[in-house]
A and B are shown apart, each in its own frame.
Chain A
Amino acid sequence: MDLRKKISRRKFIEQANCAAIGSVSLFSSLLSLRLTAGAMSASSFNDYKAIVCLFLNGGNDSFNMLMPRNQTAHDQYRIARGDIYNAQNNPTGLAYDLQTLESMGITTEGQNYPEFGVHPQLPYLRNLYNQGDLAFVSNVGSLIRPTTLSDYENSLSIPQGLFSHSDHQIHWQTLVPQVKGTSPRGWGGRVAEMMESLDSNLINNISMNISLAGSNVMQTGNSSVPYITSDAGAVELYNYGVGNDPIITSAVNDIMSHHYQNIYKSTLSNKKQNSIEAAKIFKEAMAPYMIESLQSELGDSYTKTSAQLSMIPKIIQASKSDSSSSLDMNRQIFFVERGGWDHHQEGINAQSSLFSEINSAIELFWEEIKSYGLENDVLLYTASDFGRTLSSNGNGTDHAWGGNHFIISGSANGGKIYGQYPSLEIGSGNDIGRGRLLPTTSIDQYMAEIVNWFGVPASELSTVIPNIDNFNTSPPLGIFNS
């Protein structure tokens, strides 16, 4: 496919649609990736690597995930959050007391003070941090370029649809927050298109992008879509295929291959055909690892999060080219999603139970990854719409901007908080009102670390992360040695 025509056609559509683009050159760079991706060598994929995106849908109140223990900073935190939460005496408060944080204490270099604490329901994450397998990144959010308070007030280069769930979720996935909507497509989709063009092993009915949480923007490219599965494994069409009803099989095939001019009909036929074929391949590859249902395997540990995360080690085993049943893929990106983080109300309790769930699910997942010796080859990172207001709305918090995140990988330089942990004093430098914090690290910088580790060469970084050059004034975060 010639990309030039695509560029001009898109340009035409966007102009005609009066969509806010101002970014024709951006589209050119997004669409020209296959022409320029030659810098990557196919042989570079002999080692296995997987990225797992854990999307906390709704906007995690992450300044209650990672909190300061330094007395002055904790006082600022406590005051900003309406003081220590107490169900009877201070139900509107959102802060955890110093004692709790000390029991969950961690230390770091490179911040204004070394002492922090993690949420009491995250003991496994704290252990990983202390073992050096987990790194936090602080005050991350969608930006187009480094942005000051005055830029924000004057609406200079501000992301589209600020503070709206749907828009911020898209920002995390397209990495092109200056464009409204999903038309720039997802960074994972771009990586897949780049890598699939170089490694024919990756061209398959099963995409290197696998979603355990349905369709998503991140893994969707202009031509590449994720393979979608669930803890049920492959879903096959009944009474169809070898060993099944031959009349149904042949009639379904014939009906499916009818050519349609109508775009919905042809898209539906294509999707159905792909789904049927992919299910067959996936089922065969997964058979040795899906002895019993995940639900019975996990028992009481079966949760919305573990149902997704615990599938991943099985898929990885079925994928690596050195395994017998292999899908033969040495690069994979997984998408996992847990909703329910929009804590306008019941902030403290609801978040605690969700943290407890993800802590346990990650423990199951990561211990299994380690048992296969894959801890240096797998990376899990969190994404979430936005951080939340430091100030309380009486029972919870509202939409804000910058938030804290974490990366888990044996190859990460863990045990450290990266980025700049902000002052939590209301009205301080990053506060744009009510304790909404202007991000100091862009999603791009956070993702650049991950994408570099994954094997995307520096020369192609701006293809995957189109705005990354806007941030090249600051050095890489340095989460991984490269």
Chain B
Amino acid sequence: MYFILIQFLFIVYLGLSQSLWSQSDLVFDGIEFLNEKVEVNLNNPIHPIEILEYSDGLSELAEWIPVSRNYGKGWESVFPFAYSLDLDTLSIPISNQGFFRKSFQASVENYTNHELVSRFLRQATFGPRLEEINNFPNVEGTQFSDAEYTNFELWIDNQVAVIPMYHRAYWRQRSNPSFVDTSLSVQGNNILTLITEVGHDPTLGHLLPFYENNILHRCNWECRVEGHGGLNSDGTPITDFSDYTEDKNGNGVLDVGEDVGYLYGPSEAVGNGSLDAKTITYSNDGIPYIGSHIADAEAKGMTKWDLNNSAGDTKRIVWYEAAINGEDQLRQRLAWALSQYFVIGEAGSNQLGFPERFLNYYDIFVRHAFGNFRDILSEVTWSPIMGHYLSYIKNKKADESIGTFPDENYAREVMQLFTIGLWELNQDGTFETDGNGDLIPTYTNRDIEEFAKIFTGLIKQNKRSNIENSFSNDIDPLRVRSDWHDMSGKRLLDGSTLGPFVDYNNEYDDWESFTDTNGNGVYDAGESFTDTGYNDPELFLDVNGNSIYDMGEPFSDYNGNGSYDLAPFAQVPDAVTAVVLDIEGFLDHLFFHKNVPPFMARFLIQRFTVSNPSPNYIKSVADAFRDGLYKGSGSGERGDMLATIKAVLLHPEARETSLSSDSSYGKLREPIIRLMHLSRAFNLNSLRTYDWILFNNMEDLISQEPYKSPSVFNFYQPDFSPTGEISNMGYYAPEFQITNDTTLIRLYNAYHTLIYYGINGSDYLYEGKGGKIGSKWYTEAVLNSDHAMNLSSNLPELINYLDLVLSDGQLPENVRSIILNALTQSQLSGEDLVKLAIYLFVTTNEFNIVY
């Protein structure tokens, strides 16, 4: 075994002054060879960041693997390693020849306060706006940065206090005028969180479409809602729509497939085909033919075509509104992250044109973003949207007579994806292993079959008024149909038994008898016992095959007290409560599994800050989740999301800028977030109806779009690793899964389109090239950068400004020169110059990657 100590490092970044690595005299004090392991004394660092790297000795320079690092917060293992570190002594189990060296960076570029803020806001929001940077707590202060990241925590606390933008409420306020505000009344299933059901706001009009009794009411001429849709000249609602049909074949009736249109104004024919609608004359008595929203549109210089927004897109219109203009940015970012964890998608759902149910589902995440994970888990489970998506609505207990078994879909995914994952984890996110070094599965298929019994007997609530209705109630939490529920006790992962909560089939009426020879009231091994057929709560192994418990037969003691327990029914609840106890008891069982904190921690860290968090970082976030405390404050309840997100955003690994010189630090940003950043930084402004913004069909274009995950496995997987450098080093980079030859170019083209033309559906743009970012006539929008325009005659200032809002001020010097030269050479000015500058900026890696 040979170890060579490399005392210095001489790597040079090409032309990058801020990250020059230089020679030094770092020395390893002590290195000891023990059986199958080596102990390295790492010493106190003398540089802002030092990294211990390993090589097999054959690698090229670039293939040294970082093992441990110190960026001023003590030595720690880096992903994926979790070696034991006793103060400065690292113990590595290794039996191979290997080499170690320390690399370091002698100086770290100073960030200005504003740059630190921009960096933070790129992690925590849908992208910073200049005024948000300028209004950040104490950003002008001289003592802005401190070890506790006080000002960043203050910003988080301020965000928590912002009134949430509930997606469903936003829609209801602008949709059905007859929706009543019941937000203050108590209703619904009293076991679950109350539904906030705000009503219509008459000052906002009827802007967004809704269904009522299977009729779609859009804010166009078709709408039958009084005062909002078409009116006859005498003010009565139009009931005979034959006058308004666009009869393409001229046969006088509206055939299937023919567009509906109407004749707008005295003589203007609009539409594709020929019109044979009756001539309509404009009212002279002050009553418009068309409802109030049309009048609004007219005042804005729009035509009726601008109003025809699609019901299926409504949920996304609201989403883009929240992402771009929501004041509660952190809450909305968290909701977006959680929606990528508890995934539903249009593929696999039905009745996509009904917005309210989807908005209601999404609001679970808005509501509990700073609440408790356990509440989210419960509300998701009882949601009719998830119930349909993972097929447990109307799921029935096994029926031998027709050979059916309970659906296993939710039982599996609630564990694999929503709580514990497939493999046992340590609190720092590393895998637990057994004696052979193999991973330990968290469950078996037998467990799945067992837990499938739990998600039985759930059906939708009855239809009711005051919600968007079709054939069923897809808003209220599922209700119980107890005769479809499997009431038996369930064997849990730890061997204990959940339930049974009721005396199903009256089995206990004829209860087992045993001879309690020592008089302690419980069955002890060796006591005589007669099992009359009831197998629960504790199972026995019927070794002689007579199906009853015979003296001496072994049994499984689920609660580990060594005795056979007989009386789980201290209180026998009603059947409905028993089902709720069964489901909630199982969710508790999962929630308290030791995997949940590290599983969730890794997920959230990857969504916000870095792709490859150190074990330290995961543990710190997992601890906050487990204890409900961030630095001692918080609810103290397991699953506290506020404590957890604080731990994500305020961990030194998220905040210390010295780490940006660690080559594995950071992450590729989500494509949709990059587009939101551009939209926010330059105030994307709608030219069309009611300021709606809709990036249309982004899933087809860039493989990411709200409500469009292709499956419950989200757009990308947490352990995706692209071929090449990243996978060679054993790292993950989830967002690269949707970064390929087509989506990558299309995203850059989407930047280009957005900057040069805005959201514009016109086919004449880029015909045949793909890459439109909108094709809905009612959502045209353009970026608006007055600030950049003001700087267009001062190129260095323009670049400084763009650098700050788009890339934390981290643009490398030579990239800055490239952009400056291009702008100068272009001889453009004003708007054209600004567009080119922004476009070149967003092609830089500094914009696309956070680090």
A18 touches B407 (CB 8 A): no
Q: Which residues of A contact B409 (CB under 8 A)?
A: 342, 344, 398
Q: Which residues of B contact A10 (CB under 8 A)?
A: 730
User: Which residues of B698-741 have CB atoms within 8 Å of chain A's CB atoms?
Assistant: 703, 710-711, 713, 717, 719-731, 733, 736-741
Q: Which residues of B contact A393 (CB under 8 A)?
A: 395, 404-408, 452
CB-CB nearest in chain B for A16: B81
User: Which residues of B432-460 have CB atoms within 8 Å of chain A's CB atoms?
Assistant: 432-433, 436-439, 441, 445, 448-449, 452
CA A16 – CA B93 in complex, angstroms? 8
Asked if B532 is at the interface (CB within 8 A of a chain A CB), the reply is no
A339 touches B710 (CB 8 A): yes
Given contacts A161-B422, A394-B394, contact A17 B404 (CB under 8 A): no
Q: Which of A108-116, A122-130, A215-223, A449-457 contacts B (4 or more CB under 8 A)?
A: A215-223
Min Cβ gap A214→B in Å is: 6
Asked if B412 is at the interface (CB within 8 A of a chain A CB), the reply is yes
Min Cβ gap B832→A in Å is: 11
Q: Which residues of B contact A20 (CB under 8 A)?
A: 431, 433, 437-439
State which of B58, B395, B727, B771 has its C-beta within 8 Å of the C-beta of A4. B58
Shortest 6 CB-CB distances between A and B: which pairs?
Answer: A5-B58, A251-B822, A344-B391, A393-B407, A13-B730, A20-B439
CB-CB nearest in chain A for B751: A238
Given contacts A16-B80, A20-B433, A20-B439, contact A252 B843 (CB under 8 A): yes
Min Cβ gap B79→A in Å is: 9
Asked if B655 is at the interface (CB within 8 A of a chain A CB), the reply is no
B65 touches A12 (CB 8 A): yes
B14 touches A267 (CB 8 A): no
Q: Which residues of B contact A221 (CB under 8 A)?
A: 723
Q: Which of B128-136, B598-606, B661-669 contacts A (4 or more CB under 8 A)?
A: B661-669
Asked if A237 is at the interface (CB within 8 A of a chain B CB), the reply is yes
Given contacts A18-B433, A268-B848, contact A251 B730 (CB under 8 A): no
Q: Which of B272-280, B364-372, B784-792, B813-821 contacts A (4 or more CB under 8 A)?
A: B813-821
CA A214 – CA B819 in complex, angstroms? 32
Q: What are 9 A-B interface contacts by the 8 Å CB criterion?
A: A14-B730, A18-B437, A20-B439, A21-B437, A229-B742, A238-B769, A251-B822, A258-B845, A264-B733
Given contacts A11-B96, A271-B744, contact A263 B80 (CB under 8 A): no
Asked if B54 is at the interface (CB within 8 A of a chain A CB), the reply is yes
Q: Mark A255-284, 1 if CB is under 8 A from B, else 0.
A: 110111111111111111011101100000
B347 touches A82 (CB 8 A): no
CA A225 – CA B737 in complex, angstroms? 12
Min Cβ gap A343→B in Å is: 9
Q: Which residues of B contact A13 (CB under 8 A)?
A: 65, 80, 729-730
B438 touches A22 (CB 8 A): yes
B728 touches A6 (CB 8 A): yes
Q: Interface range on chain B: under 10, 10 to 19, 20 to 34, or 35 or more?
A: 35 or more
Q: Which residues of B contact A434 (CB under 8 A)?
A: 405, 449
Asked if A478 is at the interface (CB within 8 A of a chain B CB), the reply is no
CA A280 – CA B154 in complex, angstroms? 50
State which of A80, A224, A278, A399 has its C-beta within 8 Å of the C-beta of B723. A224
User: How many positions in chain A have a CB within 8 Å of any CB in the partner chain?
Assistant: 109
CB-CB nearest in chain B for A166: B713
CA A223 – CA B722 in complex, angstroms? 10
User: Which residues of B756-809 have CB atoms within 8 Å of chain A's CB atoms?
Assistant: 766, 768-771
Q: Which residues of B contact A270 (CB under 8 A)?
A: 724
Q: Which residues of A contact B11 (CB under 8 A)?
A: 261
Given contacts A20-B433, A235-B771, A399-B408, contact A248 B58 (CB under 8 A): no
User: Which residues of B77-101 have CB atoms within 8 Å of chain A's CB atoms?
Assistant: 80-83, 92-94, 96, 98
Q: Mark A426-449, 1 if CB is under 8 A from B, else 0.
A: 100000011010000000000000
Asked if A133 is at the interface (CB within 8 A of a chain B CB), the reply is no
Q: Mark A381-414, 1 if CB is under 8 A from B, else 0.
A: 0000000010111111011000000000000000
Given contacts A252-B843, A399-B412, contact A215 B724 (CB under 8 A): no
State which of A19, A251, A275 has its C-beta within 8 Å of the C-beta of B818. A251
Given contacts A9-B65, A258-B815, contact A272 B407 (CB under 8 A): no
CB-CB nearest in chain A for B812: A258
A12 touches B56 (CB 8 A): yes
CB-CB nearest in chain B for A343: B391
Asked if A104 is at the interface (CB within 8 A of a chain B CB), the reply is no
CB-CB nearest in chain A for B661: A261
CB-CB nearest in chain B for A211: B740
Q: Which residues of B contact A275 (CB under 8 A)?
A: 740-742, 744-745
B59 touches A5 (CB 8 A): yes
CA A238 – CA B416 in complex, angstroms? 42
Q: Which residues of A contact B405 (CB under 8 A)?
A: 389, 391-393, 398, 434
CB-CB nearest in chain B for A266: B725
Asked if A162 is at the interface (CB within 8 A of a chain B CB), the reply is yes
Asked if B310 is at the interface (CB within 8 A of a chain A CB), the reply is no
B825 touches A8 (CB 8 A): no
CA A16 – CA B403 in complex, angstroms? 48
B403 touches A79 (CB 8 A): yes
B408 touches A398 (CB 8 A): yes
Given contacts A261-B19, A267-B726, contact A83 B96 (CB under 8 A): no
Given contacts A167-B422, A215-B737, A251-B818, contact A391 B403 (CB under 8 A): yes
| 14 additional contacts (CB under 8 A) given A17-B730, A166-B717, A264-B611 | A83-B403, A163-B412, A214-B738, A232-B770, A235-B741, A267-B725, A267-B726, A342-B711, A344-B390, A344-B408, A393-B395, A394-B404, A398-B452, A434-B449
Given contacts A20-B433, A258-B812, contact A394 B739 (CB under 8 A): no
Q: Which residues of A contact B749 (CB under 8 A)?
A: 235, 237-238
Asked if A247 is at the interface (CB within 8 A of a chain B CB), the reply is yes
Asked if B430 is at the interface (CB within 8 A of a chain A CB), the reply is yes
Asked if B180 is at the interface (CB within 8 A of a chain A CB), the reply is no
Q: Which residues of B contact A426 (CB under 8 A)?
A: 403
A12 touches B815 (CB 8 A): no
State which of A81, A82, A264, A433 has its C-beta within 8 Å of the C-beta of B666. A264
CA A426 – CA B743 in complex, angstroms? 46
Given contacts A80-B403, A261-B19, A267-B726, contact A12 B96 (CB under 8 A): yes
User: Which residues of A160-188 have CB atoms within 8 Å of chain B's CB atoms?
Assistant: 160-167, 180-183, 185
